[in-house]
Amino acid sequence: MIAAFVRPLAAAAALAVFVADAQAATRIERVVSPGGIEAWLVQDQSVPLVSMNFAFRGGATQDPPEKPGVAYMTAGLLDEGAGNLDARAFSEKVEQNAVELRFSAQRDEVSGALRVLRDRMDVGFDLLRLALTAPRFDAEPIERVRAQMLTALRRETTNPNNIASRLWWRTAFPDHPYGRPANGTLESVPLIGRDDVAAYARRVFARDQLKIAVVGDIDAATLAPLLDTVFGALPAKADLVAVKPAAAVGGGRRLYVDLKVPQAVLSFGGNGIARKDPDFIPAFIVNHILGGGSFSSRLYREVREKRGLVYSVYSYLLPLDRTALVLGGTQTRADRADETLDLIESEIRRMSESGPMADELAKAKSYLKGSYALNFDTSAKIAAQLVQIQLEDLGIDYIERRNGLIEKVTLDDVRRAAKRLLNTGVLYSVVGRASETPAGKQGG
């Protein structure tokens, strides 16, 4: 299944809610294998289930410039046969043992997840070992996955959301890996061969770039040797191509694409604030007030509630390894696209110039602290959060510190962060009908 690379877990089960107050962080153990592989562990014996999430730094930025989509195809092939098991035999063993195995490629990392019942744990971990250390990359699965990728890419050529997103990224990062689509192009995917995916796996899947989190019915003594069993045969060091830091360009421009769709799709974004910058948490709060707070945000109130131009409008922060962004989007009637953009631009300018009000700050802080628990209500969510915290190098005590970091943010902090976050210019891409938008007069 190319879209998500998911094998269904036959016996669905979820761990009990992970308590998200400050004391929850004390439940995270740092486990180091005899071979030196580190994982973060949260034990919970309430359900006989073990969940593992992991990620290798690298991702689609490691694709050859002329062949975007290599990382994506590699991820799609990892559970299509490994070791002495061809694709059919591998799939049958996964299903017979109620194993869920998933791989995906993002811009900065290739990630994976394993969910397995406690009494099938040895089989599940062995299947993961084979997938990572002995993938077959046989001809038949390669052609099948390629066909699935091409089918999805053809659909994207008429999907306004995909068109708007691709236009935004290639305009913002014209000479950088971030400007290339992670899932490839109709031109590049046919060029990807077995040598490309095998070389990618050899270069990227290495222990020095690996982050692991495990949640469930397993203790540290059991987990430690399993880490070596699964990951120990991988190369010690990855052979990654250096990726330069980048900033989005094109701020202040509006790009238009003619497409006959009922509603115009609007994507927008600009440069953000790096994850480890002291102003990131204040910027996170600023974005919540601007467009991240759903029904309570300024954008929703001004564009949806007061004028009824859209059904929803949103913004979010996206800190990547080599850049940081603030992004957003909405949909509206094509003949009102520029009116909607004018309002969004006005609200961004107003936030940049004067920042949040005191009552907005207080409400945002209360919501962001209270809602954090929703990220920890299943084993899958806990494991995913722990891997992300490792990728962002925030420290094993981040969950304990996080709400305190939000609480201490002042009005001066958010007003300073608003100026930094929103005064560098925003790039807009609009996909809609040329007869009803300025698409016939301007292009991108």
Q: Where are the alpha helices (DSSP H) in 355-397?
A: 358-370, 379-391
Q: Give CA–CA dist 309/303, Å, rounded.
A: 6
Which residues neighbour 105 within 8 Å (Cβ) at sequence distance 6 or greater? 59, 60, 71, 72, 74, 75, 111, 182
Q: pTM score > 0.85 for this model?
A: yes
Asked if residue 235 has pLDDT above 60, the reply is yes
Q: Give CA–CA dist 340/334, Å, rounded.
A: 10
* Mean pLDDT over each residue of the chain, to the nearest integer: 92
Q: What is the mean pLDDT of residues 295-303?
A: 94
Q: Give CA–CA dist 311/298, Å, rounded.
A: 14
Q: What is the mean pLDDT of residues 130-157?
A: 98
How do residues 336-355 score in pLDDT, each as one tens digit?
999 999 999 999 999 999 99
Asked if residue 269 has pLDDT above 90, the reply is yes
Q: What is the mean pLDDT of residues 172-189?
A: 98
How do residues 369-426 score in pLDDT, each as one tens digit?
999 999 898 999 999 999 999 999 999 999 999 999 999 999 999 999 999 999 889 9
Using CA atoms, how far residue 364 sits from 263, 294, 298, in Å, is 31, 11, 12
Topology of domain 254-440, CATH: Cytochrome Bc1 Complex; Chain A, domain 1 (3.30.830)
Find where tokens 């902090």 sit.
413
At the fourth CATH level, which superfamily is domain 22-231?
Answer: Metalloenzyme, LuxS/M16 peptidase-like (3.30.830.10)
Where does CATH 3.30.830.10 sit in the chain? 22-231, 254-440
How do residues 42-101 score in pLDDT, each as one tens digit?
999 999 999 999 999 999 999 999 999 999 999 999 999 999 999 999 999 999 999 999
Provide the token pair at 278: 């002291």
What local confidence, expressed as pLDDT, does residue 438 receive? 56
Asked if residue 440 has pLDDT above 90, the reply is no
